[in-house]
Structure 1
Amino acid sequence: MNKLVIHKDLGVKDYKETWDYQELLFKSIIDTKIKNRREELTLSTANYLLFVEHPHVYTLGKSGDMDNLLVDQAQLAAKGATFYKINRGGDITYHGPGQIVGYPILDLDNFFTDIHKYLRFLEEVVILTLDEYGLKAERSKGETGVWLDVGTPFARKICAMGVRASRWVTMHGFALNVNADLGYFDLMIPCGIKGKAVTSLNVELGQKEVDIEVVKEKLLKHFSVLFEAEFIKEETEV
């Protein structure tokens, strides 16, 4: 099992460009697995973890409801935002500046073949990271992602998640609000869940801005421990 993970920080990158890049990496891993099976080979499959910040964009998962986007295309354009229907699970999500979007493109045959465990591990990476900032983040039953003040009238989501998997290869991932403009969440019903608020790390800490690079390092540290992975950092252009 190959537990080396190639980590690439793409900086600020268009959503569609990054989605296409994810699909390329995803396909390359699946192609290797198919080749191994057909030709009875034991070629190692690669693993990737991409970090990126997207310009303002809304994405709707396969099971999503368009009614959860509360504005039309003209209003989106006026806000400088784009919209895509995509092939992950989940409903509607917003990505934008000040948010760390993590895309693990892993062959789970290298780790464990359990999607439920995989999602819980992704949540735990974020929970442990937020704990370092003195925040008690947790899961909300039946609602994927990471939340604060679960079970109270003040419950609010700080990290959304949605993944796709085929032949135990993953793509898409999580979006952690660090210095996010929360006004953009007012244009949708986040993840299709009515009556729940959204928050950002800087808001919770009462800071104008949190050092996003430090947050990234904490995420990598906890990911490495939970997945027993070793990172190889690459600064490759998409």
Structure 2
Amino acid sequence: MDEIHAIACEDKKNHVILCTHPLCYTVGSDDPGGWPVPTIPADRGGSITCHSPGQLVTYFCFQAHEPAAFYRKVRRAYDELFASLLPQVRYDPKRPGWYIQNRKIASLGFRYRKGVSLHGVSLNIDVDLKAHNRVSPCNLDGVIATSLLNEGVLLDEENLSRDLIQLLSQSFDDPCF
């Protein structure tokens, strides 16, 4: 992500990275410590986040000279995605992420440097919920992790990625990144 961010700062274009990570727990600047799992510090805000296979992580290295407008466009794309897959999913601005009641299905967080965004959104497709629930998502009391599969949606990463890119393209009114 840092390498792509540097490129985006130079070429003034938007770049998106879609990937998965091996099982790991990352902590941001709000890390209180004392976790029951090993953690990796990350250059972001927030507390603890679990990443693993079965989770689609979208990193945005976008020109974001107006962070609030950028954030709204990302939200719009994911809101539309969830409206088509699981209409009961809602975004919670007080606890940034998408939820079904107390079950968190996607997290988001951004940092901005030199007018370009860093970090992004992680969406649980088919994750090991036992591993994800070893910690409370984002250290939020009473919140557990869930996934599309756990909520009855069977969708593979390739198709989800394709749909997401289309929605992001529409939201940003940009046919290609």
- 1:49-198 alignment runs, 5 A limit: 49-67=16-34, 69-71=35-37, 73=38, 83-108=39-64, 113-149=65-101, 155-198=102-145
User: How far off its partner does 1:124 sit?
Assistant: 2.5
Q: Is the 8 A contact 1:65 1:92 kept in 2?
A: no
Closer, same or farther in 2 for the Cα pair 1:134/1:85, shift >3 Å? Answer: closer
- Specify every segment of 5 or more residues in structure 1 that has no aligned partner in the other structure, as ranges: 1-21, 33-43, 74-82, 150-154, 233-238
1:223 is aligned, of 141, 158, 168, to 168
Question: Cα offset for 1:48?
Answer: 0.6
Which secondary structure does the structure 2 equivalent of 1:219 belong to?
Answer: helix
Partner of 2:148: 201
Q: Which has the larger radius of gyration?
A: 1
Output the TM-score relative to the length of structure 1.
0.69
Q: Secondary structure at the match of 1:231?
A: coil
State the Cα distance separating 1:221 from its structure 2 match. 1.3
Q: 5+ unaligned residues in a row in structure 2: which ranges?
A: none
- Determine the C-alpha separation between the residues in 2 that align with 1:24 and 1:134: 34
How many residues align? The count is 177
Partner of 1:23: 2
Offset of 1:63 from its aligned partner? 2.1
CA RMSD of aligned residues (A): 1.8
